[in-house]
Amino acid sequence: MSGFDPAGIEAGRGLVLGLVATTVAAPLAAAGVIAAGGFPRSPRTPAAASLGVALGAAALLAWGWNAAPAPPFEFGARLGGGSLVHVDGITGTLLPMVALIQVAIVLVAPKRFLDRAAAVRLLIGAAATFALFSTAHPLALVGLWIVTASPTWVSVRGTPGGRPAARVFATVMLLALACMAAGTLLMLADPPWESGCGNMGNAGGWLVAVAVLMRKGIVPFHSWYPALFSNAPLSTALAATMPQVAAYTAVRLLMGHADHGAGVGAELVVLSQLALLTAAYGAALALVQRDLRGLIGTLAMSQSAMVLAGLAGRLPMEINGALCVWISSGLALTGIGLVAWALESRAGPLSLATPQGRFHDAPDLAAFFLLFGLATIGLPGTLSFVADDLIVSGSLDEQLHAGLLVIASTVLSGIAVVRGWFFIFGGPTAVDGPRHTILPRERFALTALLVPLFAFGLWPGPLVASLERAAEQLLGVTADGEPVVAPAAPPEATIGPP
């Protein structure tokens, strides 16, 4: 089998739909089993198994997309330019990344943080995230925004000392959901992606843009982002931020709409400028953090903003770079966060005020932290090096200040990462102190996150080519500025009304 072609083969359509259903249903089934009292001693087992199944289905979906280039796969009801199930190069590339992050979180989570309730919340959140990355239906996106935010709020609120952070998170998310719902309804009533739209549709686009700003933690709505990392279990913080559901929403609802399909709208341009400032600001904040969680939170805020900044590009190279940053930052920052969580579970809260000298008792974790940190800041041979080259080259071609801010963000982030490593692992050590050996499940999960970062960094061709096709489809133009001619799909390729 050299790939499936859902545009012309009924079996191919069924296979795509089955794989999407598997990614969503597997964690939901495991959540039901755990909630019903199954595996009371080790909810990690069914949780990891179900997410592994979802990862396998997502990987097969990605392979099928790349083996047989085709137009987007659409199934189900269609509304406002988006189908209930929508699979294209964006979904095919990002869904395996999201699934891998969820698997790693479950494997590394300390036992006391993965009780029955926590496992159920994590699995429901994972299933909702997978569903969100598989749809372009505007109302489905609104509903899934609610479902993906709810487990995060419950987890933060239930953490000792987490109620203030939960209130901040709930306030921002409720405002974001209100803007998202109102904006989406206005866009459906007066579609800005069609010619002749009026002020109602344009207002809807701006409301969705404000919702994206809030959900992404972009200045001036960034206060909840570091607070989440400082006051919630790291599993909650990473699962809520690393998939970047707001960036996915911007791709589906804002790209190509305000200009009637001829590029990106003014909303996304404004978002990108604020995101550039947030990227530089977050990296600068990372330099002065006094604890490891604060460092990870501000780095995550900076790297997350970089993705949104690249999505406003008018060249496939810029979109390609943004998607590469999306993948590289998601995997690398998840790795840093999980290393920090593993070390924190052994040694307690980690300060950056004085050198901690943890290299002697946790050398394996020190090595993983350094590798993930370097993979975040553009080390040659890593995916972030490829991503930075693409996004900087594209930005400098169009906006000098954008390229300079990206470079500044990368430099500041690099200094912050190296500073954090030296403060945590450098300094005097107690030679007779305990040695914290890495657990096999931790080693497996961290290695699984690290391998694609270096594999795609050393051999970026297949990923870059796949993302180039996805970027060209989103913008409707090739790298040379010519209109994209998509492969034709026969009428039976879409299930449901056109």
Q: Which of 494, 472, 489, 492 is nearest to 70 (CA)?
A: 489
The more confident residue out of 310 and 91 is: 91
What pLDDT, in 10s, does the model give residues 13-28?
778 889 999 999 999 9
At 83, give phi and psi (nearest 5°).
-95, 160
| d(C-alpha 497, C-alpha 17), whole Å | 16
End-to-end CA distance of the chain: 30
| d(C-alpha 383, C-alpha 386), whole Å | 5
Q: How confident is the model over 81-89, as a mean pLDDT?
A: 82
CA distances to 267, 290, 296, 336 from 352, in Å: 39, 5, 12, 15
Give CA angle at 126 (168, 132), nearest 5°.
85
Which range has the worst mean pLDDT, 176-190, 284-298, 300-314? 300-314
Please give the single-letter amino acid code of residue 200.
M
When pLDDT is cut at 50, 70 and 90, the band that residue 294 belongs to is very high
| Highest mean pLDDT of the ranges 224-233, 394-403, 418-427, 448-457 | 448-457
| d(C-alpha 327, C-alpha 313), whole Å | 18
When pLDDT is cut at 50, 70 and 90, the band that residue 12 belongs to is low
Q: In whole angstroms, what separates CA 290 from the centre of its chain?
A: 26
Place of tokens 């060249």: 315
Cis peptide before 233 (omega within 30 of 0): no
| d(C-alpha 149, C-alpha 177), whole Å | 10
State pTM to two decimals.
0.89
40-57 CB burial, b ≥16 within 10 A, e <16: eeebbebbbebbbbbbbb
Percent of all residues in the chain with a pLDDT value above 90, rounded to a whole number:
47
- Using an 8 Å Cβ cutoff, are 165 and 188 in contact? no
When pLDDT is cut at 50, 70 and 90, the band that residue 89 belongs to is confident
Q: In whole angstroms, what separates CA 436 from the centre of its chain?
A: 30
| d(C-alpha 273, C-alpha 119), whole Å | 38
CA distances to 21, 234, 282, 297, 407 from 413, in Å: 38, 20, 9, 12, 10
| d(C-alpha 69, C-alpha 43), whole Å | 39
**Residue 7: pLDDT over 70:** no
| d(C-alpha 399, C-alpha 275), whole Å | 14
What pLDDT, in 10s, does the model give residues 334-366?
999 999 999 988 888 888 988 888 888 888 999
- How many beta carbons lie within 10 A of that of residue 411, not counting itself? 14
Q: How confident is the model over 69-75, as a mean pLDDT?
A: 74
Q: Dig out the tokens for 340 from the structure.
A: 């920090």
Q: How many Cα atoms sit within 13 Å of 338 on the Cβ side?
A: 34
In total, the chain counts a number of residues equal to: 498
Percent of all residues in the chain with a pLDDT value above 70, rounded to a whole number:
85
| d(C-alpha 260, C-alpha 273), whole Å | 22
| d(C-alpha 498, C-alpha 494), whole Å | 7
Tell me, what's the pLDDT at 260?
A: 37
Please give the single-letter amino acid code of residue 425.
F
Q: How many Cα atoms sit within 13 Å of 119 on the Cβ side?
A: 33
Q: Dig out the tokens for 253 from the structure.
A: 């609802």
Cis peptide before 483 (omega within 30 of 0): no
CA distances to 38, 193, 481 from 70, in Å: 42, 23, 20
**Residue 327: pLDDT over 50:** yes
Q: How many Cα atoms sit within 13 Å of 152 on the Cβ side?
A: 32
- Using an 8 Å Cβ cutoff, are 215 and 245 in contact? yes
Q: Between helices 199-216 and 266-286, what is the axis angle to 10°?
A: 10
The more confident residue out of 159 and 434 is: 159
- Using an 8 Å Cβ cutoff, are 409 and 279 in contact? yes
When pLDDT is cut at 50, 70 and 90, the band that residue 208 belongs to is very high
Q: How confident is the model over 195-216, as a mean pLDDT?
A: 85
- Using an 8 Å Cβ cutoff, are 37 and 45 in contact? no
What pLDDT, in 10s, does the model give residues 258-290?
343 444 467 888 888 899 999 999 999 999 999
When pLDDT is cut at 50, 70 and 90, the band that residue 453 belongs to is very high
Q: Dig out the tokens for 307 from the structure.
A: 């993705």
Tell me, what's the pLDDT at 490?
A: 41
